[in-house]
């Protein structure tokens, strides 16, 4: 795994987290309206996000293991790395509003989500950590182009351990956005949806994807 991959995915999660806030806006709003105040509210949001990040780590572990199986074939490994970089490029353009390609990818995950979503109702309304934690774990499988882009990097790592670490870094990057979205919902939503925020996020993610392709070309 390249030395800068963990930091890069953390930054991708941090800068693209406004998209995550939009995808999860409904559920974090529900958490905010449960009636918990102060420390209790913060605890619910932390538990929800811990579950969400745990789902990312598990997904990273699984796709990293798949990448490991393919990693013995150098041409295929290079192809996975190229695919991961291209997905980040696509994500950058998506955040810039230049393409809806990742929206098509998100629709592809709806089949799995349709099987998972009914289980989320078992943990609503959220009255404590025992509901918030598993709810977050289930909600982490919501189809999301940002998550899928990060998962391609985990896949290209060709290691279950590295894949899990990469997705942990990505999940931690999204944490400030989701916490702010939950605790300062209306104000943060305006910031996350601001054109300037999306342009800066899109350009930086696009730049990292192009950097990955350039490294592959020089290799």
| Helix (H), strand (E) at residue 149 | helix 145-156
Rounded to two decimals, the pTM is: 0.83
- 172 vs 166: CA distance, rounded Å: 10
- Residue 35 is predicted with a pLDDT of 47
Evaluate whether 206 touches 214 at the Cβ level (below 8 Å): no
Q: Report helix angle 25-32 to 160-183, nearest 10.
A: 50
- Residue 168 is predicted with a pLDDT of 97
pLDDT along the chain (219 residues), means of 10: 73 72 59 54 86 96 90 68 83 77 76 90 86 92 86 90 96 83 57 68 81 75
- Residue 55 is predicted with a pLDDT of 97
Buried b (16+ CB within 10 A) or exposed e, 154-180: bbbbbbbebbbbbbbbbbbbbbebbbb
By C-alpha distance, which of 43, 152, 37 is closest to 88? Answer: 152
């Amino acid at each position: 795994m390249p030395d800068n991959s963990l930091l890069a995915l953390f930054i991708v999660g941090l800068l693209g987290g406004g998209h995550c806030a939009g995808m999860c806006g409904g559920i974090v709003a529900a958490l905010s309206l449960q009636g918990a105040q102060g420390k209790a509210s913060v605890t619910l949001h932390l538990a929800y996000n811990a579950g969400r990040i745990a789902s990312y780590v598990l997904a990273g572990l699984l796709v990293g293991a798949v990448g490991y199986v393919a990693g013995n074939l150098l041409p295929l490994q290079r192809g996975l790395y190229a695919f991961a970089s291209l997905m980040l490029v696509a994500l950058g353009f998506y955040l810039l509003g230049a393409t809806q390609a990742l929206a098509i990818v998100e629709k592809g995950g709806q089949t799995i989500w349709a099987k998972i979503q009914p289980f989320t109702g078992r943990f609503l309304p959220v009255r404590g950590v025992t509901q918030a934690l598993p709810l977050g774990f289930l909600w982490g499988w919501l189809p999301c182009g940002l998550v899928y882009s990060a998962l391609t990097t985990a896949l290209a790592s060709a290691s279950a351990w590295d894949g899990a670490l990469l997705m942990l870094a990505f999940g931690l990057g999204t944490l400030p956005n989701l916490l702010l979205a939950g605790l300062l919902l209306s104000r943060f939503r305006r910031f996350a949806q601001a054109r300037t925020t999306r342009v800066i996020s899109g350009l930086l993610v696009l730049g990292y994807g192009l950097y990955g392709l350039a490294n592959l070309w020089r290799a």
